[in-house]
Structures are given as structure tokens and as C-alpha cells.
Structure 1
Amino acid sequence: MEQSQILEIFRKSNALLEGHFRLTSGRHSNRYVQCAQVLQYPQYTEVLAAHLAEKVRSAVGVPDVVIGPAMGGILVAFEVGRALGVRSLFAERENGAMTLRRSFAIQPGEKVLVCEDVVTTGGSVREVIEVVKQAGGVLQGVVSLVDRSNGTVDFGVPFWAAMTMEVVSWEPEVCPLCAEGTPAIKPGSRT
């Protein structure tokens, strides 16, 4: 898939927004990516996941299992797992820590691919990587629909994204959009 095709999917689904946004970090930005808008369309999710699966298959082969963090990574992991023909798990928080629940298990030595919707700092992915390591899994790589770090995040393994972008952000006190008097909105899932 060409980047222009991926960008068109994000625009068609209203997942790529332009305006004035307050990010979870508290910083302000003129662009916002909300992958849930893409993931509500199974036809887009299937195409993007197949694209990511092919990148993984070509580079490192097929893993034994894929896993994503709840919430954002669940659908991505499911569709990437389906495209690769392997089982799909998700990790979720229990008492503040990412863990495997619901009788999910990674067997020692299993090759594992971590899947996420958006990577900015990689915090949730790193937590899932730790779950994989604690279970004795062999981390094969990480995939994400969007790499908002513009390629700067490093997980110590191959990382593939359907779309890589730089999202410029500012501290509120130096935000040029605030200086213009444009109100900031918070469209994300975390308040």
C-alpha cells in the first residue's frame, strides 16, 4: 500500500483531524489521530492489518501469537492475527499493571508480535513487551497503525507502522493556536 492510500483511509474515516487539540500529555497540537475512527470500519481495518502482516511476514516470518494492549490494540491485534493465521490475545490492566487475564497465556519460546493502534511514546507497548518477556515469549517485533513519534521510538526490535507522521506539539503557554484565540478541544479517549 502507498502512504497516500493509507492517508486517504484516515481522512475518509475522519481519523486524521486538523485544528487545535489538547493532547493527553497536556501539550497542544494542530493535528490529532484517532484510530478508533478507522477501526469502526472493518473493511479499512482488514486492509491496514493485512498491509502490516505482510511487512512482518516478509521481514521476520510468521509469529506464533499476536498481542495488543487493551483498548486500542485489541482490534489491530485481532485483524493482524487473522491476516497471519495465528491466535490473537490482549493484555489489560489489573491493579494498574498490564497483565494477561481471561486464561490467556503465552508459552515459553513462542514467537510474539505486539500490535498497537497509535504509538507516541511507546509506553503501553513497552508494558506489553514486559508481559511477553515475563511469560517467556520471544519478541519478534511491534506493529502499529500510526507511528506518531515520526520514527524516533525504539523498542529494541523491528517496528513497522502503516503510517508514520510527526505531530508537532507545544506547551500551552507557548501554543501559537492559543495566541490566536482558538479554543483547544480534547477528542481522545483519556480525560
Structure 2
Amino acid sequence: MTPEDVLKHFRETDALLEGHFLLSSGLHSDRYLQCARVLMYPERAAALCGALAKKVKDELGEDAVDVVVAPAMGGVVVGYEMARQLGVPGMFTERVEGEFTFRRGFELEKGARVIMSEDIVTTGKSSRECIKVIEQNGGKVVGATCLIDRSNGTADVGVPLFSLMKMDVKTYEAGQLPPELEKIPAIKPGSRGLV
């Protein structure tokens, strides 16, 4: 699957938005990728995650992963579909009082080889937080995945990061907005509040 194929899925589902957006990281941007709009179509989720799972198998090997773990909320559908595509169990972490943790009876076997799966990586903060929880619970993170790497390859999540495409989407601190964004009220489309 080429980057243009990936963007086609986003464009056809109105998931690539333009305007002024306040991201969950606290940064501002003129573009936003609303993965939930793409992932609401099972056939699109299967196609995208199938291509991503193939990348993981090609890079790490057919049997290199024991379980997929995703951070809630944005990673839940991607994590589920990645687990299905890889033929392994899938689980997710959730925020409790601002911190990721396992709930719902999810447990990792000590030494389990884990892929952490996200929808989008921008700064890598959520990915690193999720990876920390996996490691604290006995898992060995062998890699991370996302549909789109908004950092254009600059985010460091501490393990190899596999994505379907990299995008150079500019982000800005609140006090450093370009004039065209200052004129537009910010919309907060993300799934979690600022911390």
C-alpha cells in the first residue's frame, strides 16, 4: 500500500481535516487526521492494518509477536485489527487518573513479545506511556505501529516504529501560531483532554 493509497482512504471518508486544531498534546496544527472516520469502515480498517501487519512480519518475522497492546482510546480499533491480522491476542491500556494502566483483567505473560499499536503518532507521548506500562507488566516491546506518523519520522518512541506513511504536518506552540491560524478559532477534535 502506497502513501497515496493511505491518503485516499482518509480523503474518501472525510478523515483528513483542514482548519485550526488543538491536539491532545497541547500543540496546534492546520491539519488533523480523524482516524475514527476511516476505521468505522471494517473493510478499510482491514486493508490498512493488513498492510501494516505485513510490514511488521516482513521486518520482524512471521512469529515475532505474541500480543498487540494499544493505548485507548485512539488505538483500540487499530490494536484489535492488528492483533487479528497477526493472529495474536489484542488488549489495550486505559487512562485512570491520567495514567495508562491495564484493566478489564488484561495481563501479559512475563517476556511476552509485544507490538504497541496506535492510530496516529505525533509526538510519541502516548506511545511511550503505553510502552512503559507494557514493560512494567512484564512485556518485551519489539516494535510499535501506527497508520500515520505525523512526526515525519522524528518521534522517538524508544522502539522501532512501523507506519504506513510519514507526514510532515506542522505543529505550533500556543504562543507561536502563524497569522492564518490566529484568525481561526481552534477546534479540539481529539479523544482526550489536555493534561
TM-score by length of structure 2 reads 0.90
What SS class does the counterpart of residue 119 from structure 2 fall into? Answer: strand
Aligned equivalent of 2:180, options 173, 177, 181: 177
Does the alignment pair 1:86 with 2:82?
A: no
Identity of aligned residues (%): 49
- Structure 1 match to 2:150: 148
Offset at residue 102 of structure 1 (A): 1.1
**Which stretches of structure 1, 4 residues or longer, exceed 6 Å deviation after superposition?**
none
Counterpart code for 2:130:
V
Following the alignment from structure 1 to structure 2, what is the Cα–Cα distance between the partners of residues 154 and 41? Answer: 30
What SS class does the counterpart of residue 72 from structure 1 fall into? Answer: coil
Q: Alpha-carbon deviations, 1:87-137, whole Å to 9, x = none?
A: 000011223321111111111111100000111111111111111111221
The 5-angstrom pairing of residues 65-80 of structure 1 reads: 65-80=67-82
Count residues in correspondence. 190
Counterpart code for 1:46:
A
- Structure 1 match to 2:49: 49
Following the alignment from structure 1 to structure 2, what is the Cα–Cα distance between the partners of residues 57 and 94? Answer: 33
CA RMSD of aligned residues (A): 1.7
Where structure 2 has 5 or more consecutive residues not aligned to the other structure, the ranges are none
TM-score by length of structure 1 reads 0.91
Offset at residue 25 of structure 1 (A): 4.3
Contact 2:153 2:166 in 1 (8 A): yes
Offset at residue 176 of structure 1 (A): 2.2
Aligned equivalent of 2:126, options 124, 127, 138: 124
Counterpart code for 1:68:
A
- Structure 2 match to 1:7: 7
